[in-house]
Amino acid sequence: MRYRPSDRLQRLPAYLFAEFERKRVAFEKQGRDIVNLGIGDPDQPPPKLLIDAMIATLNVPGVHQYSPSQGIEEFRAAVRAFMKRRYDVGLDPKEVCLGVGSKELIAHMPLALTNPGDVVLVPEPGYPPYRSGAIFASCEPYVMPLRRSAGFLPDLDAVPADIANRARILYVNYPNNPTGATATREFYAKCVDFAARHGTLVVSDEAYAELYYDEAPPSLLQTPGAKEVGVAVHSMTKTYSMAGWRVAWVCGHEQVVETMRAFKANVDSGQFMGFQKAVAEVLREGAGDMQSIREMYRRRRDAFVEGCRGLGWDVPSPRAGLYVWFEVPKRGMTSMAFAEAVLEQANVIMLPGAGFGQAAEGFMRVALTVGEERLREAVARLARLKL
């Protein structure tokens, strides 16, 4: 064939979740009622304030033209006010850059900030773009396993010295997808120390920062010295159920933020200014509805976790995030075999840990992105499984 995917693209691991999506569509066409606990796509409408602000901005003259890649000043000022209010982190205007969603920021960072052959430290299980971004940039992804016994925090001391010295980026993600773990301030201090010793950049993916069930989780940027070695990536997607809007930001280390801006000036032309203005309003006004959104996810979490415990399964209750992460309840069964049995017999989609990397084999992920009643329905069907 004359045209084929690039070698880089071919080096990416198979996208297991696409297969479940394909089956879902096929089964629904057959009339089967599928409870989809697969993808983490929030099902709630965004806040009314946002929609109203968006409608109002559509008529503002000038918003339909190109905008700067780093985001308009009004958006960045609102981000700075939010970071100050939420974390007491002061940011200069040059320390904030807009993202067209956080996925693009994360996936582009190695291209903007590393050279071929550099090492990128990726947690496993972990959000796939940490690894794919590293592969696209011809870097070497080095896997840091997240183990339940260690609170799903990576063991930085276990990274061999030669790898650590070549590591240009360290990705950390708390609240964590998929494990639901949160980070301690001590852990972030270790990351900062590691980065300072090895000349690494810490990229803290804080996409789930507002979805917590206990106390509000900290940001990397609250750690003394963090701004000298790190950036935080935030997104509006999960917080305000805005997956389709594609608005996020990276903030922290000034040179890194400036590098991202310079890189992005070559690959995108900002985000629609109307979005940015509406998002700025929500960030400025504060998160009025957040408490009720958190309560809604808490009820869903409890319905699923308690239901599964009633089946005798060992299902830990996540501290934060959108997911429940638990060990395959049948000893010796692979996560893929369990996911297939659950889909075939119970018409429920859960994602197998294997799709999050080898270190995640033996686990399952459930997204709390359907209503409480549907979660109870899923548990009732799981009770009838024959394994």
CB of 177 to ligand PLP, least distance (A): 4
Nearer to ligand PLP, 119 or 243 (CB): 243
Q: Site residues for ligand PLP, window 274-313 (CB under 6 A)? A: none
Which of 82, 87, 127, 275: binder of ligand PLP (CB under 6 A)? 127
130 binds ligand PLP (CB under 6 A): no
- Residue 173 burial by Cβ neighbours in a 10 Å radius (0-12, 13-18, 19+): buried
Stretch that binds ligand PLP, among 99-107, 186-194, 251-259, 303-311 (CB under 6 A): 99-107
- Residue 69 burial by Cβ neighbours in a 10 Å radius (0-12, 13-18, 19+): buried
Nearer to ligand PLP, 54 or 172 (CB): 172
For residue 229, the number of C-alpha atoms closer than 13 Å in the C-beta half-sphere is 25
Which of 132, 204, 235, 335: binder of ligand PLP (CB under 6 A)? 235
Which of 243, 282, 360, 368: binder of ligand PLP (CB under 6 A)? 243
For residue 135, the number of C-alpha atoms closer than 13 Å in the C-beta half-sphere is 14
Which of 79, 98, 113, 248: binder of ligand PLP (CB under 6 A)? 248
Nearer to ligand PLP, 103 or 227 (CB): 103
Stretch that binds ligand PLP, among 98-106, 134-142, 298-306, 355-363 (CB under 6 A): 98-106
* Contact present, 143 and 158 (Cβ < 8 Å): no
205 binds ligand PLP (CB under 6 A): yes
Helix (H), strand (E) at residue 332: none
d(CA 181, CA 170): 18
* Contact present, 37 and 348 (Cβ < 8 Å): yes
List of residues 6+ apart from 199 with CB closer than 8 A? 165, 168
Which of 173, 179, 223, 335: binder of ligand PLP (CB under 6 A)? 173
Please report how the helices 16-29 and 335-346 are oriented relative to each other, as an axis angle in degrees rounded to 10. Answer: 10
Length of the chain as a residue count: 387
369 binds ligand PLP (CB under 6 A): no
* Contact present, 119 and 130 (Cβ < 8 Å): no
CB of 208 to ligand PLP, least distance (A): 7
Amino acid at 359: A
Please give the size of the binding site for ligand PLP, defined by CB under 6 A.
13
CB of 330 to ligand PLP, least distance (A): 27
Nearer to ligand PLP, 37 or 243 (CB): 243
CB of 1 to ligand PLP, least distance (A): 32
Which of 36, 237, 271, 347: binder of ligand PLP (CB under 6 A)? 237
Residue from 193, 190, 189, 217 nearest 205 by CA: 217
Which of 36, 67, 102, 179: binder of ligand PLP (CB under 6 A)? 102
List of residues 6+ apart from 57 with CB closer than 8 A? 63, 273, 274, 277, 278
Q: Site residues for ligand PLP, window 7-46 (CB under 6 A)? A: 40
- Give the footprint of ligand PLP on this chain (CB under 6 A): 40, 101-103, 127, 173, 177, 205, 207, 235, 237, 243, 248
